[in-house]
Structure 1
């Protein structure tokens, strides 16, 4: 019969214990890095949420009026709905429509729909 040396069993147990401790430390380091990433993501999402809630209909209307005054366009119709603002511009001059659309696209509006023809442009701005 083969006898197992108790020192080998003890040595094997110590090696297994050391390996498990080192893997536990590595798991702890990874967990801490994931917690840091999560806290950074939460801060970023809170910042986005605050920006989203501060940009409302009044700000959109002010910006639209400012753009219309800059371009001196009088054929702008603004229709307000629950969560949408629909802007219609009818003009004979395609350059005025083009400049207006460029100003709208350069601002930070949330545009849901954009319909452009040769005589008019219809823009749906959401929030």
Structure 2
């Protein structure tokens, strides 16, 4: 009886450690994204102080390569909307939203939503 109880406790401890490790990875990724946004905020503040344009025509050209629908999806991303919210707002399926995101990420040279937003905001500046 005591053996099975110890085994159950060991399994519970192992499961909790796995979950903690998964959360640590997610937290690290979130912190990296916050750092990207903070860096962009600092860049915007500097640009306001300098009253200059730090982004050239080549940078802005990246956004013009996006289709109209990809720009609409990007605008929804900038406002923090989920795939489901974007789909509902634009009257398309979540699968179509994911397709637009994949194409947009490739064109922007990014791998995630936050990086796409950071890049888009930086290039619009």
Asked if these proteins are the same fold (TM beyond 0.5), I'd say no
| Larger relative helix fraction | 2
| Larger relative strand fraction | 1
What TM-score, normalized by structure 1, do the two folds share? 0.39
Higher relative contact order (CA 8 A, sep 6+): 2
